[in-house]
Every structure is written in structure tokens, then in C-alpha cells.
Amino acid sequence: MKLSFENYIIDLSKPIDISLPITTDGKNPIAWYQNQPEIEPVKMGDWIGKVSEGKSSTNFNNIFFNPHAHGTHTECLGHITKDFYSINQTLKQFFFTAELISIQPEIYEGDLVITKDLVEKAMGSKTPKALIIRTLPNLDSKRHLNYSNTNPPYLSEEAAVFIREKGVEHLMIDLPSVDKEHDEGKLVAHKAFWKVKNVNEVNSDARFNATITELIFVPDEVLDGSYLLNLQMVSFENDASPSKPILYSLENN
């Protein structure tokens, strides 16, 4: 099935999934010092909610996970504010023009950093609603890496400001955070992107509609360039939700 979007044709039969699933086989990524997620059948007395156990006609599991630590997730500014804001209430549109760029972070004061200059060079004159950053080298181990206490690459404050000022409303990255792992709670990239000046009393011009999606994975065969993004998520009333960003190639109409 194909549809028309702006001046392009979109082939809906060819989705490009850039999400990482939540699993219990040790193959999902982990961050923020958490253990593996848990997916276990419900147990009530001698009844077990698992068909293969022979005592249930259905599989009936409980799931314990942290959206920020276990797989691809999308978050709103409620992630860093005193007042509660829900991703389910702030994300109301789900299709966006998107630009995929690949960046080799630079060494700065002993860290690997995605700088403004790197982002500016990679984006060029493009002004998409969504920006997808694939970091290099694009190792397959990203799919199941334990990022805790590894000081992964991160986005500089200046880069986050630049991305915001380019009009990007939805930022995606293949790292556990846009900010440094141990930054004394400063979260400068989060604040810059959402334009949050005071987490205790959010300013009226903060970007309530903007989102950050972390722990994606973009395979090498997906080339840098322009796409249509469908940002899918679970309807959790929480600052963040597991999500499933899907890309579609753009064909000239």
C-alpha cells in the first residue's frame, strides 16, 4: 500500500524499525544501573499463567521494566520537571518529516561529545521536524550493551540549542541519554532542547510538544537522508514510554 505525503510517495509495506525491544534473554540494552527486565507468568496458588505449564488456557504475564533503562523509549519534558507531565498527553501527532544523520563524536576533555559543529555540518540546510542521530562506529553491540558506568558519548549543550533553533521537535539518538552519564544532575542538553529554564516552575515558552527518544538502533544499511517517521508508543501516563519509531523511505511523486 502506498500513500502520498507532501510531494512524496510512501510505501507502507516497507517499514524500517529503529527500535530495540524489551526482552528477558539478555539481548536488550541496559542503562542507569538497573537489572534485566522481568517478564514472568502470573502465579496464584498452584495456577500458573503459562500454557506450556499445562494449567492455563492462556499466557498471562506480569512485566517489570524501566522505560528509561530497558530499550527504546520516548520522553517529554516531564522527565526533568518538578510538576508532572505525561508523554501520553504531550505527544499528540505521530507522523513527521525526519532526517537521519551519522556522526562520529569528538574527544573533548576526555569525553566523546556530539558537538554543534558536527551536527550543523551533518544537517546542512535541512529543517526536519525530527532528527535521528546515529553515532559512529555503529557497532551491533549497541543492541545489547550495558551502558551503566561506561560514560557513553553525549550531546553538547550548544548542539542541543542548535537542534532546537533549527525547528526540530523530536530528537532521536542511539545512546541511553543526550546528556553525560555523571553530570551532577545538570542535564544541560535536555534542558536546552526542551527550553526548560527552571525545573521547579516551568517557563511558559518551554517546548511541551517536543520529545526525546533514546536507545534506538539504526542498521548500517539504512542510509543517511530524509524519511517519514511514524513515532509509536504505549499510552502510559508517565514522563516516558517504550516506543517504536518506524521510518519510511521517501519516493518522489
Report the topology of domain 2-21+67-252.
Answer: Glucose Oxidase; domain 1 (3.50.30)
Could you tell me which of 118, 71, 82, 92 has the C-alpha nearest to residue 210? 92
Quote the pLDDT of residue 35.
95
Could you tell me which of 8, 43, 10, 36 has the C-alpha nearest to residue 144? 36
Mean pLDDT by 10 residues, the chain (253 residues): 79 96 92 96 95 93 97 98 97 96 97 98 97 98 96 98 98 98 97 97 96 98 97 97 97 75
Percent helix, strand, coil in the chain (nearest 5)?
Answer: 15, 30, 55
Where do the domains of the chain lie?
A: 2-21+67-252
**Which residue's entry shows cell 535541512?**
126
Quote the pLDDT of residue 26.
86
Quote the pLDDT of residue 190.
98
Cα separation, 210 vs 159, in Å, equals 16
Helices marked H in the chain — which ranges? 87-90, 116-123, 157-165, 188-194
Length of the chain: 253
At how many degrees (to 10) do helices 116-123 and 157-165 cross?
30
Quote the pLDDT of residue 8.
83
Quick one: cell of 6? 507532501
Could you tell me which of 14, 67, 35, 48 has the C-alpha nearest to residue 241? 67
How would you class 144 by CB atoms within 10 Å of its CB: exposed for 0-12, middle for 13-18, buried for 19 or more?
A: middle
Q: What is the pLDDT of residues 107-147, one digit of tens each?
A: 999 999 999 999 999 999 999 999 999 999 999 999 999 99
Quote the pLDDT of residue 253.
65
Distances (CA, A) of 194 to 95, 99, 186: 20, 19, 14
Quote the pLDDT of residue 54.
84
The CA-CA-CA angle for residues 78, 168, 207, to 5°, reads 30
Cα separation, 208 vs 90, in Å, equals 6
How would you class 29 by CB atoms within 10 Å of its CB: exposed for 0-12, middle for 13-18, buried for 19 or more?
A: buried
Asked if residues 49 and 42 have their Cβ atoms less than 8 Å apart, the reply is: yes
DSSP tally for the chain: helices H, then strands E: 4, 17
pTM for this model (two decimals): 0.96
Quote the pLDDT of residue 149.
97
